[in-house]
Structure 1
Amino acid sequence: MNQSVIKALKLLDLFNEDIQELSLREIAWRANLPKPTVYRLLASLVETGFLQKIKETDQDSSYRLGLKLLELGHLVSNQLEIREIALPYMGDLAQDINEVIHIVIANQNEATYIEKVDSTRAIRLYTRIGKSSPLYIGSGPKLLLAFMGKEKQEIVLGEAKLYAIDDHRVIDKKKLQEELETIRAEGYAYSIGEQDLETTGISYPLYNYRGQVIAALTVSGLSSHFEGENLQVIKMKTRKTAKKISEKLGHSIS
């Protein structure tokens, strides 16, 4: 393990509800570390937003916890709320259509899978909670990207080249942007063979009380199961489930 990272994280633990401000001298004393070492660690934490330097004199400096922790705490809180609310509905949907169900959220410039309900089929997709994917590959990630603001989309799509997962093909950005527009217009995303060969994914948005898309409800399985009438049934039931979860999250449809 990186000892510098561990030491820096331990410095954050020195702050609590009763101790909201500490000086460099106090931090060095409480952490039992040399002041020069503590100063370097604090500088890194300030630069990354985990701490704020609020006072500085020739003799000492004072610090408070930074807004980055508030941002991360808000993200964790949202994840816990979405998972808790969505899981019963995901279970019902999985039992009904017998495919893998995921909840996917945007995390920086990636998509992260935060919940999963498996199918009972003999051949299953290998996925795990915590898995990350580029925001331009797969139905769930692309749905999230489609409903982001233009500035955020430009950051994600601003990479010199976008590569597919399977064989490192370069993705055509113009076609991808056209697909994102279609997703927004139709209200759902559909992908075939993007994350795993011979698999299909269908995703619908989950909305919060402000009407913002905060996650994707994704159904995945072998492409042979997503054909004809069965495809229409899966789309209809997934859409209805996403609507129920959104309503529980406080979204009201006028």
Structure 2
Amino acid sequence: MNQSVVKALHLLDLFLEGQTELTLVEVAERSGMPKPTAFRFLASLEACGMLVKSKNTGQDVRYRLGLKLLELGNIVAEQLEIRTIAKPWMQALCAELNEDVHLVILDGEEAVYIEKIESNQKVRLHTRVGKRSSVYIGSGPKLLLAFLPPEEQRSLISRIKLEDNADSLIQTEEALYEHMEEIKAQGYSISLGEQERETIGISYPVRDYSNKVIAALSVSGPVSRIDSGFQKEIQEKTRETALRISKALGYIES
């Protein structure tokens, strides 16, 4: 593996942390690289179109993500057939419940949010398409972990460092396995304040033609808006929508 390429690409992650523009000094400080090294990698990324440099003054030079990444991102999005199929159903579900609706898939050892339909509520969640999450935090990621084939699940859980997240309610592998069994038995997943405080997330599985769970359909919102009665409505409508998306993907209900 070319470590120089890896280090250069890791610099792009710095722009995913809520910072749209960074100076050379900021990149060097956040990456822990010497300024000459950071400058060399930034120049390479700029040459590839992955970064754009703006120069306001001789002392104020900033970098931001380039359009090449948008081009590549659109190609990836086009390849995600499930996103195209699911979006109209997600829009209908959001219109009916007026809460945020997400579509989540697994990518390696993390869960990724590949689609989001926002409600028109004044208070909304701070999620975004492309967001990554640990697989044991949040209703969607947990559901995907629960429905993995046993061998894949064991392999992934063995690589999770539970102690890295003090906010998680799950601190041991034993507790995580028990929770996965509970989710799989009931057929859905619920999270309370796991990714954002005072929020609830409810997720149901999306299956393909082979009955494999390939995504999680999630509805999330503040607990102040979702009482027990509304929660039951969300569960029923999310389950129905996940089933409709699954059937559109070729799933046959037994």
Match of 2:193 in 1: 193
Other-structure match for 1:204: 204
Match runs of 1:51-130 below 5 Å: 76=76, 80-130=80-130
Match of 2:69 in 1: none
Q: CA deviation at 1:3?
A: 10
Q: Is the 8 A contact 2:168 2:194 kept in 1?
A: no
Is the alpha carbon distance of 1:244 and 1:167 closer, same or farther for their aligned partners in structure 2, counting shifts above 3 Å?
closer
Give the structure-1-normalised TM-score.
0.68
Report the counterpart of residue 252 of structure 1 in structure 2: 252
RMSD: 2.6
What pairs up with 1:114-193 in 2 under 5 angstroms?
A: 114-159=114-159, 161-163=161-163, 165=165, 167=167, 171-193=171-193
Give how far 1:180 is off: 0.5
- Look up the match of 2:229: 229
Checking the alignment, whether the CA contact within 8 Å between 1:94 and 1:101 is kept in structure 2 is yes
User: What are the Cα deviations for residues 142-166 of structure 1, in whole angstroms up to 9, with x where unaligned?
Assistant: 0000000122222222137314646
Q: Percent sequence identity over matched residues? A: 49
Q: Output the CA distance in 2 between the equivalents of 1:169 and 1:98.
A: 28
The unaligned stretches of length 5 or more in structure 2 are 10-75
Using a 3 Å threshold, how does the CA distance of structure 1 residues 211 and 96 change in structure 2: closer, same or farther? same
Deviation of 1:179 (Å): 1.1
Look up the SS of the partner of 1:171 in the other structure.
Answer: coil
Distance (Å, rounded) in 2 between the aligned partners of 1:157 and 1:248: 31
Assess, with a 3 A threshold, how the Cα gap between structure 1 residues 209 and 199 changes in structure 2: closer, same or farther: same
Deviation digits for residues 80-122 of structure 1 (CA, Å, limit 9, x no counterpart):
2111000000000001001110000000010000000001110
CA distance in 1, matches of 2:227, 2:242: 21
Question: Does structure 2 conserve the Cα–Cα contact (< 8 Å) formed by 1:104 and 1:115?
Answer: yes
Matched position secondary structure for 1:210: coil
Using structure 2 for the length normalisation, give the TM-score: 0.68
Structure 2 distance, partners of 1:187, 1:174, is 20
Q: Deviations over 1:198-218 (max 9, x none)?
A: 000000000000000000001
Deviation at 1:77, TM superposition (A): 7.8
Distance 1:197 1:164, change over 3 A: farther
Matched residue SS, 1:225: coil
1:216 aligns to 2:246 (yes or no): no
Question: Retained in 1: the 8 A contact 2:188–2:203?
Answer: yes
Partner residue, 2:16: none
Alpha carbons of 1:166 and 1:95: their partners in 2 closer, same or farther (altered >3 Å)?
Answer: farther
Aligned residues of 1:104 and 1:111 also touching (Cα < 8 A): yes
Which structure has the larger Rg over C-alpha atoms?
Answer: 1
2 CA distance for matches of 1:221 and 1:198?
9
The alpha-carbon distance between structure 1 residues 237 and 169, as it changes in their structure 2 partners (threshold 3 A), is closer
